[in-house]
Amino acid sequence: MPETRNVLAVIAPRVGGRSAAAPLAALFEGRAEITVVEAAEEDPAALARAHVLITALGAVTEEHLAAAPRLELIQCAGHGHDTVDVAAAHRRGVTVCTIGSSGAEAGTVAEQTFALMLALAKRLVPAHLALTRGDWALPRLQQSLTELSGKTLGIVGLGAIGREVARRAAAFDMTVRYAGPRPAPAEVERRLGVSRADLDDLLRESDYVSLHAPLDGTTRHLLDARRLALLKPTAFVINTARGALIDQEALAEALETGRIAGAGIDVFDPEPPGADLRLLRAPGVVLSPHVGGVTRETLVRIALAAVGNVLDHLAGKPPRDVVEARPGA
């Protein structure tokens, strides 16, 4: 009799006291060859029987990998893979995959990106707060309101999400530049109407800079104090990717001193942020609690994409969206 191939869902955090593994487990129902095992991310010993691990923002460390001698595949239920020790997985011959090509949350994150951009351009938060205090703030705000039309949007990372952002930017009559480790196919550039730039040049030229790069050792603090200083004083920074792509202290300093006009931030390092995070009290910010990819619709698409890749792997098909080892990652 062939050995049972187990799927272990390591999903964190628990939501409302309920395990997020249950919806994923339900998608395997009726497949007798698969046993779904629930385990908390802090209990690596429970990994001993697993051939496949599904993680949604749960950490997968070298200790977890050492406790999982049968592990073949780590499937991230999302576009990111920064919670997984990819280098350690590769050393053990374990494949790591995301759901990047599925586009499961790309459109939703692109919508959140533009929600933040519009909130900054139209000063929606200070306008709302002023009105709730009985303050008709029009005379004070009107000189700082801006348009997206005619502005340059710099996209850092033209993957599935970055491309959705670029596609929407065309509807706002924005000029779009992008930066990344390699150029997009010429057909993609033509279809989206985008052009590639060196990152430093992109920062100098852009009115809005939107981050959509993966987080690894090569991109941590990609926007540090030096690069933030390249931005125009009228520029806005948007981050719906990973908090550690930006040096948060340097960003707070740039906002407090007026070196940039504002920032829309959906992600933090760590999450949730501590109450003492300087960025929470910086001027010109619009903040949201990592909700960019979370809607009723995307949660279903993400789960289906992750489980589909796992089932393909267990059926002997090549997995999609394999994460490559990178220097410094």
Catalytic residue list: 242, 271, 290
Do residues 247 and 211 touch, judged by C-beta distance below 8 A? no
Instruction: Write the DSSP assignment of 246-271 as a string of letters.
Output: B-HHHHHHHHHTTSSSEEEE---SSS
Cα separation, 26 vs 30, in Å, equals 9
Question: Residue 127: is it exposed, middle or buried by C-beta count within 10 angstroms (0-12/13-18/19+)?
Answer: middle
Q: State the residue for tokens 């992109």.
A: 202
Distance (Å, rounded) from C-alpha 65 to C-alpha 88?
8
Inter-residue contact 278 to 248 (CB < 8 Å): yes
Rounded distance between C-alpha atoms, residue 19 and residue 203, angstroms:
42
List, in order, residues 6 or more apart from 120 with CB less than 8 Å away.
236, 261, 262, 263, 264, 284, 286
Are 268 and 141 in contact, with CB atoms under 8 Å apart? no
Could you count the other beta carbons within 10 Å of the beta carbon of residue 225?
14
Q: What is the 3-state secondary structure (H, E, C) of 106-152?
A: HHHHHHHHHHHHHHHHCCHHHHHHHHHCCCCCHHHHCCCCCCCCCCE
Instruction: Using alpha carbons, list the distances in angstroms from residue 160 to 78, 102, 154, 233, 286.
Output: 12, 8, 15, 29, 24
Residues 195 and 250: their CA atoms lie apart, in Å, by 28
Task: Residue 190: count other Cβ atoms within 10 Å of its Cβ.
Answer: 10
Instruction: Tokens 């869902």: give the residue.
Output: 9
